A = this chain, B = another copy of it.
């Protein structure tokens, strides 16, 4: 039985409130065997109190050994099986630059490339232009008009940009036009079904027009397109959980992911203090709040152990402000680990706590990987976190009599 069907069957309405605080890339590694992780090294009196009052465990983002990107990592935390719901690359790229993708959109990742007089690619990244050049070239591409379709072109950085075709009935089963090697012309787009063929034809027209518009702009004189993706068919949080849900995230990617599952996107300002302020202001308007904190991930990606420790301590300082609102269920976790030692996302399980009057306390006295390992939630797949949240919030009835 599908987990969402089960929840729809069992869910009950009450006024309790759930706060999901996601510290991106929270999990870490000790720099030397037997040492402490970033989270264990940080002074986190408020998180420790939550851990003592609550129940802890280790979240497996996807499956053992699988390192998730931000998309699958967050979908799992929102209770969507990340192996069932896949968000296409084009959509993720568009979300990342704060482009508001809609139901009639095909989002595509674009690269500027260099072609010779015969149209054969000589540099797949067009000599890595500056982002300023990218912005200028995208302005040129924005001039392209194709009847019956609305076209958006937005720069990402260097040679990368996003194209969105907006028209009813477009499919995304279209091949990448990047031939993956130099000496070849960009490939012709073909669709695997009628809807996708429609998108492919628009793509080929767009690429042709691009070649004309950019003709004199070597090395950025041509484009390739890849990662075609339509807006995913995915039930909203309200449809699945019956929860009026809001996202308070500073970075575009996480707002975008929240929008995919139907959350309202609130003005998060620029800091954790702003986010907590927004939470307070909108406290009466929603039953579920997703707060996203980026800096535990970015410092981990930088390989800066000490900076990650400090970012965790800043996070800890924001806990009392959230706790003061008395959420019925307060969850702190990460979408994956980003150990400073590895300077990247990783597969390691993620320390997680649920604080709620209905939780079974478990003797964990500090919030950290080695403590959570001994916690009452054990190891669990992230996709079950929302069921646990709903249960602790008194929002899930009995299964069977």
Contacts and interface: CB of A to CB of B under 8 A. Distances in A.
A30 interface: yes
Q: What's the dominant secondary structure at chain A's contact region?
A: loop
A190 interface: no
A374 B313 CA distance: 27
Contacts of A187: none
A67 B378 CA distance: 18
Nearest to A363: B370
Interface string A387-401: 111111000111111
Interface residues of A, number: 71
Q: Which of A69, A89, A399 has the most CB of B within 10 A?
A: A399
A300 interface: no
Copies of this chain held together in the complex: 2
Given A30-B361, A34-B52, A348-B360, A399 B65 contact: no
A401 to B, nearest CB: 4
A401 B65 contact: no
Contacts of A346: 358, 391
A399 B62 contact: yes
A50 B5 CA distance: 40
Contact of A378 (B342, B370, B378, B399): B378
Contact of A65 (B68, B362, B375, B390): B390
Contact of A10 (B6, B66, B358, B380): B66
Given A68-B399, A374-B374, 11 more contacts: A6-B63, A64-B380, A64-B387, A65-B390, A66-B396, A67-B396, A69-B400, A69-B401, A93-B401, A346-B358, A373-B378
12 contacts: A3-B63, A6-B63, A29-B358, A30-B361, A65-B389, A68-B399, A69-B400, A73-B400, A82-B399, A362-B370, A369-B376, A374-B374
